[in-house]
């Protein structure tokens, strides 16, 4: 009886150990489940996991391309030569590489891109664009806003936001005031559209007035400058001031 009892106990223990091992393996597989775009917004950890996955995908894509085109890697590492520098909004719906197709494919960009909410002009943005036109010899400079801009809308609503946002919205407020003045009798949607247009015009004018380097290069005809608004549905740019050589 004792031997039977001991064997039964050993069987139960072995079963429990096997169950624990199975649960552990299942948990490990669950932890290692491939991150998805749908899960990326659920938590910081999920966002990190998905970001790292997409970075790995990007590395694999680049390595495959360079394996077939070895000279392309040297070209990319040799430096940059963007033909256009763009100050645009940080809105995730309007990445410049999607708005303007690049001949370089996914290996490099033809765009020197400076992005900030509301495409506002600050010291860092000016310095970045001066670098592009002075040291990279970029001949085209644009300020691009987009439809349904949240920063302009927030400025129109005078939302009670905290932190550093009031300073940013304060840079947009003159455009809202001008848009409101020039859009008497407009609907709210028409007013927003007008204020967005005035905001890109304001940004372009500020670049010209605050940057001697940009102003000089534009005056010499070495840089063309313009501003416009991106259609969210098809990425078509509506020029507020079409770029042209002065």
What residue segments make up the domains of the chain, in order of their start? 80-246
pLDDT 10s digits, 93-105: 999 988 997 765 5
At residue 184, the pLDDT reads 86
Pairwise pLDDT comparison (52 vs 6), residue with the higher score:
52
pLDDT 10s digits, 185-230: 899 999 999 999 999 999 999 999 999 999 999 999 999 999 999 9
Count of CB atoms within 10 A of residue 206's CB? 19
Distance, in Å, from the CA atom of 40 to the CA atom of 38, rounded to the nearest integer, reads 6
Edge-first strand listing for the sheet containing 140-146: 111-115, 84-88, 140-146, 224-230, 237-244
Report the relative pairing of strands 111-115 and 84-88 from DSSP bridges: parallel
Please report which confidence band the pLDDT of residue 90 belongs to, taking 50, 70 and 90 as the band edges: very high
At residue 101, the pLDDT reads 79
Pick from 68-82, 102-116, 139-153 the range whose average pLDDT is largest.
139-153
Share of the chain above pLDDT 70, in %: 83
Q: What is the mean pLDDT of the chain?
A: 87
pLDDT 10s digits, 113-141: 999 999 999 999 999 999 999 999 999 99
Half-sphere exposure of 27 (CA within 13 A, CB side): 6
Per the listing, tokens 């927003």 go with: 192
pLDDT 10s digits, 52-72: 999 999 999 889 999 998 888
Hey, what CATH topology would domain 80-246 get? Beta-carbonic Anhydrase; Chain A (3.40.1050)
At residue 160, the pLDDT reads 64
Distance, in Å, from the CA atom of 169 to the CA atom of 150, rounded to the nearest integer, reads 10
At residue 107, the pLDDT reads 64
pLDDT 10s digits, 12-51: 444 545 555 444 444 444 456 889 999 999 999 999 999 9
Region at 229 (left for phi over 0; alpha for psi -120 to 50; beta for the rest): beta
At residue 162, the pLDDT reads 78
At residue 109, the pLDDT reads 81
pTM of model > 0.85? no
């Amino acid at each position: 009886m004792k031997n039977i009892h001991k064997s039964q106990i050993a069987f139960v223990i072995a079963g429990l150990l096997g169950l624990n091992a199975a649960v552990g393996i299942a948990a490990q597989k669950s932890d290692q489940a491939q991150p998805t775009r749908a899960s990326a917004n659920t938590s910081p950890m999920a966002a990190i996991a998905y970001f790292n996955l997409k970075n790995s995908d990007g590395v694999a894509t680049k390595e495959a391309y360079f394996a077939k085109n070895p000279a392309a890697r040297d070209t990319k590492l040799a430096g940059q030569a963007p033909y256009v520098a763009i100050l645009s909004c940080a809105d995730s719906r309007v990445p410049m590489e999607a708005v303007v197709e690049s001949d370089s494919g996914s290996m490099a960009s033809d765009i020197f891109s400076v992005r900030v909410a509301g495409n506002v002009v600050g010291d860092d943005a000016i310095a970045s664009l001066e670098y592009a036109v002075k040291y990279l010899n970029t001949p085209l400079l644009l300020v691009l806003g987009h439809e349904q801009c949240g920063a302009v809308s927030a400025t129109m609503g005078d939302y009670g936001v905290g932190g550093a946002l009031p300073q940013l919205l304060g840079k947009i407020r003159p455009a809202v005031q001008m848009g409101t003045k020039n859009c008497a009798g407009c609907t709210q949607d028409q007013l927003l559209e007008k204020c967005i247009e005035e905001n890109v015009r304001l940004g372009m004018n500020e670049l010209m007035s605050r940057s001697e380097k940009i102003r000089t290069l534009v005056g010499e005809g070495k840089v063309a400058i313009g501003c416009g608004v991106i259609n969210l549905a098809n990425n078509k740019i509506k020029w507020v001031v079409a770029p042209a050589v002065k």
